[in-house]
């Protein structure tokens, strides 16, 4: 097999660029095609071996040369020439040739894990910021479309206008809410915030589904209030942490307004 697995590199005495060159050279010797990878900035993230998803993000504590990362030679063996799976720096060619089912499964697991982190927050979890780092936009997309479709399906007239209004309010609302936080001097990353606000729609999706099955106004109001409170409670920690404490209410009120208006749409659509 390739020599890549057995090179004991001393990060103190060798720069990472040299390591990559060595690996590429050794791969060239063993006649496997290695990915044309530009020299990465010093990141020393060579613990690729143990990671089944090829581009899972490695914790970024590595602007300095790490102590020798735990490369397990045996696990690196099945991946010839791909031993340099850098973390998200450019996905290795395997994700282009893998079966579609693998890609879908990976995205779905990420959506589920983000959902669990955002909507069912466990106060004792070990890494509260994980959902923020692993943001994605597929989950929010599914939830917004699902909510629009459910509302449109349960409307008896003007179905397409109902969908249009729901989609516009939710999509534009997420963007405007993020801009609001930024303008109030808060610190938040645009797409992280879009992702969070989209995931916090999940309770309202459940509420819309329940309300579309039952047509009793009182039940609808109760269900909508509960899911609305749950959504706001899920969004609260992220939004309030992003701004100055004196402006917390200014940042949270528009979130509440958006969820209340969507809740009203859910109740009112007959």
Partner 1 sequence: MEEGYTSLPASHLLGSVPAVIAEDKTTSVASEAASSANLHLFPPSNGGYQAPGTPSGADEQTTSSWQGVFSISSYSSYFNVDTDVVVERIISSVYPMNDFYRKIDGNPDLYGPIWISATLMFMLAALGNVGTYVMEKRNDSSTTWTFDVNYVEWSACAIFGYVLAVPAAFYFLLQYFGFRTSLVRLWCMWGYSLFIFMPICMLLVVPVELFRWIIIILAGTASSWFIAVNLKACTQSSDLMILIVGAMVLQFALALFIKMFFFP
Considering the complex, what minimum distance in angstroms separates the CB of residue 264 from partner 1?
A: 5
Which range of residues in 96-104, 119-127, 140-148, 239-247 is near partner 1 by CB under 8 A? 239-247
Widest Cα–Cα separation across the chain: 73
Question: Which listed residue (66, 115, 171, 184) binds partner 1 by CB under 8 A?
Answer: 184
CA pair distance 192, 162, nearest whole angstrom: 28
Between CA 9 and CA 15 the distance in angstroms is 10
* Cα–Cα dist 30/247, whole Å: 61
Q: Which stretch binds partner 1 (CB under 8 A): 8-16, 17-25, 224-232, 259-267?
A: 259-267
In angstroms, the CA 149 to CA 154 distance is: 8
Q: Which is nearer to partner 1, 118 or 252 (CB)?
A: 252
List CB contacts of 119: < 8 A, sequence separation 6 or more: 199, 200, 202, 203, 230, 234
Token pair, residue 157, equals: 């007239």
Could you tell me the two tokens for 263?
């809740």
In contact, 140 and 114? CB cutoff 8 Å: no
Sole window of 52-60, 66-74, 99-107, 247-255 interacting with partner 1 (rule: CB under 8 A)? 247-255
Footprint on residues 32-71 left by partner 1 (CB under 8 A): 41
Residues 262 and 235: beta-carbon distance below 8 Å: no
The distance of closest approach from Cβ of residue 248 to partner 1 in the complex, given in angstroms and rounded to an integer, is: 7
**Nearest distance, CB of residue 155 and partner 1, angstroms:** 8
Asked if 269 touches partner 1 (CB under 8 A), the answer is yes
239 is an interface residue for partner 1 by CB under 8 A: no
**Which of these ranges, 5-13, 112-120, 154-162, 227-235, lies near partner 1 under the rule CB under 8 A?**
154-162
Q: Are 41 and 51 in contact (CB under 8 A)?
A: no
Q: Which residue has the tokens 């790490």?
A: 66
Using DSSP's 3-state secondary structure scheme, residue 6 falls into helix
Q: Return the residue of 101, 157, 213, 218 that touches partner 1, per CB under 8 A.
A: 157
254 binds partner 1 (CB under 8 A): yes
Residue 105 DSSP code: H
CA-wise closest residue to 75 among 66, 61, 85: 85
Give the orientation angle of helix 159-183 with respect to helix 138-154, to 10 degrees: 140
Go through the chain and tell me how many residues it has: 270
Binding mask 158-177 for partner 1 (x = CB under 8 A): x--xx--x---x--------
Which region, judged by CB under 8 A, interacts with partner 1, from 27-35, 73-81, 223-231, 245-253? 245-253
* Residue 182 within binding range of partner 1, rule CB under 8 A: yes
CB of 165 to partner 1, least distance (A): 5
Q: How far is the CB of 86 from partner 1 (least distance, A)?
A: 16
**Contact footprint for partner 1 (CB under 8 A):** 41, 155, 157-158, 161-162, 165, 169, 179-180, 182-185, 244, 246-250, 253-254, 257, 260-261, 264, 268-270
């Amino acid at each position: 097999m390739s020599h890549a697995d057995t090179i004991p590199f001393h990060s103190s005495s060798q720069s990472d660029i040299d390591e990559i060159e060595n690996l590429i050279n050794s791969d060239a010797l063993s006649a496997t095609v290695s990915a044309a990878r530009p020299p990465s900035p010093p990141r020393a993230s060579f613990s690729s071996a143990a990671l089944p998803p090829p581009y899972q993000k490695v914790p970024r504590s590595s602007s300095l040369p790490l102590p020798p990362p735990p490369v397990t030679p045996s696990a690196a063996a099945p991946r010839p020439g791909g031993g340099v799976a850098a973390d998200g720096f450019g996905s290795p060619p395997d994700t282009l040739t893998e079966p579609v089912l693998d890609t879908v499964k990976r995205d779905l697991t990420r959506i589920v894990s983000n959902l669990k982190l955002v909507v069912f927050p466990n106060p004792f979890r070990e890494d509260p910021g994980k959902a923020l780092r692993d943001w994605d936009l597929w989950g929010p997309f599914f939830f917004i479309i699902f909510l629009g479709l459910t509302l449109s399906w349960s409307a008896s007239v003007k179905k397409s206008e109902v969908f249009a209004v729901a989609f516009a309010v939710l999509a534009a609302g997420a963007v405007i809410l993020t801009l609001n936080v930024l303008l109030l001097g808060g610190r938040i990353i645009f797409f992280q915030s879009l992702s969070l606000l989209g995931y916090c729609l999940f309770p309202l999706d459940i509420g819309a589904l329940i309300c579309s099955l039952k047509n009793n106004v009182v039940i609808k109001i109760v269900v909508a209030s509960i899911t609305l409170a749950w959504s706001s409670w899920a969004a609260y920690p992220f939004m309030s942490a992003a701004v100055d404490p004196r402006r917390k209410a200014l940042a949270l009120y528009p979130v509440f307004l958006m969820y209340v208006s969507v809740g009203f749409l859910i109740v009112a659509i007959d």
